[in-house]
Structure 1
Amino acid sequence: MARIGYARVSTVDQDLNVQLDRLHAEGCEIVRSEKVSGASRSGRAELDTVIQFLRKNDELVVTRLDRLGRDTRDVLNIVHDCQQRGAFVTILDPHVSTRGEMGHIILTVLGMVAQMERRFIRDRQREGIERAKSIGKYKGGMARIDHQLVRSLRNEMTVAAIARRIGCSRMQVYRILKTKSAA
């Protein structure tokens, strides 16, 4: 029986250390992490790796439910996938586990709240952008990664090496390289 931690933040400029420290303090022998949006399960390679690694009676531990996902269906599918492997999921804050039936009900409700919160965030963001556009102050999102640098490094190193050097995911590097070839 292993305790496997999973940590996630949405963007490359966010810090994982608080989650990582908490998971290690909770006794997780293995901790995987990634910097990718929780809006959807797609593109979350580390989460998929953790789920594939789970064995009977293992425990997937996350600090908060929104680290697992912000879509109720995705969260429930993740829990289901863990259960299919004989494992269970534990959320540390608030403490909820799928070991008991009550945990499933609470996780469902918390998943719905996380999804609703995500909708509220999008609505507030959209309202702020519309307001900024109406007064001529909206400039659009800022590029976080130097696309030209990524393209120039491609001749010298692998995608994985570029991602490590820039501090982003391999998927982001592939997207940047794809936009060049599409142009």
Structure 2
Amino acid sequence: MIIGYARTSTTDQKAGLEAQERDLRAAGVERIFQEQISATGPRKAFADALDYVRDGDTLIVTKLDRLARSVADLVEITKQLEAKGASLRVLNLNLDTETPTGKLMLNLLGSIAQFERELMLERQREGIAKAKSEGKYKGRKPTAKAKMEDVLRLVENGLSREQVAKELGIGVASVYRVLASARS
């Protein structure tokens, strides 16, 4: 069976998801698992797709970045597929892991993709550092510190740390930090 996986990072990318679905159907995919979620968190539809795959099946994605977050992630996914007797195809690269060349190319391209991502993150850090030095980048406003008086008042009224956090929409760790800084 040919199984497809489509993913976009946000729900705003409806056209991207539709394009992936169209390309997967054109490649003969019989069952598509899709989701609109960041690759950094848990991906339920992807986990379901891996669980669904059986011996002799092929998992198809339109692009490598829709599948794996890093080379280590890619290696783990391909190991899971191989353990089930399944293969992987990446449409935009015309890559198929049923062949030795396909396996080699997958590892090379995964390494290149991770290298590009690390370069992008490095440039981003440099840009933030430059903006900070020019006074243009302030970062996120500290939400818990802005609510310090409310935290102290609610704790004095007998609410637990967890209740204070829920009431104010901040993390429990933030409540503890506010209390620690108030004691200092």
Query: What TM-score do the two structures reach when normalised by structure 2?
Result: 0.70
Q: Which residue is 1:28 aligned to?
A: 29
- Show the 5 A alignment for 1:106-121: 106-121=105-120
**Distance of aligned partners of 1:25 and 1:94 in 2 relative to their CA distance in 1, 3 Å threshold:** same
- Decide whether the 8 Å contact of 1:64 with 1:93 is kept in 2: yes
* Equivalent position of 2:104 in the other structure: 105
For the pair 1:3 / 2:2, whether they are aligned, the reply is yes
CA distance in 1, matches of 2:36, 2:107: 24
* Structure 1 residues 17-51: Cα deviation after superposition (integer angstroms, max 9, x where no partner): 22122112222121112233335xx6122111101
Give the number of aligned pairs. Answer: 146
Match of 1:91, as an amino acid? V
Q: 1:124 to 1:11 in 2, by over 3 A?
A: farther
- Which structure has the higher relative contact order (CA within 8 Å, separation 6+)? 1
Taking the TM superposition and a 5 Å limit, the aligned residue runs for 1:58-69 are: 58-69=57-68
Structure 1 residue runs without a partner (length 5+): 143-175
Name 2:76's counterpart in structure 1: 77
Give the Cα–Cα distance (whole angstroms) in 1 for the partners of residues 138 and 30 of structure 2: 45
Between 120-129 and 73-82, the greater mean CA deviation after superposition: 120-129
Q: How far has the Cα of 1:139 moved from its partner?
A: 4.8
Residue 89 of structure 1: aligned partner: 88
Deviations 1:55-83 (A, max 9, x none): 11111000111111131111011011011
Residue aligned with 2:49, SS: helix
**Could you say what the CA RMSD is over the residues aligned between the two structures, in angstroms?**
2.5
Q: Identity percentage over the alignment?
A: 39
Separation in 1 of the partners of 2:121 and 2:132?
16
CA gap 1:9/1:109 in 2 versus in 1, 3 angstroms: same
Alignment deviations for residues 82-105 of structure 1 (CA, whole Å, 9 cap, x no partner):
111111100011111111111111
Change (3 A) 1:134 1:12: farther
Name the structure with the higher helix share.
2
Alpha-carbon separation, structure 2, partners of 1:105 and 1:93: 16
Which residue is equivalent to 2:151? none
Deviation track 1:144-165 (CA, whole Å, cap 9, x = no partner) reads xxxxxxxxxxxxxxxxxxxxxx
Verify the 8 A CA contact 1:129 1:138 in the aligned structure 2.
Answer: yes
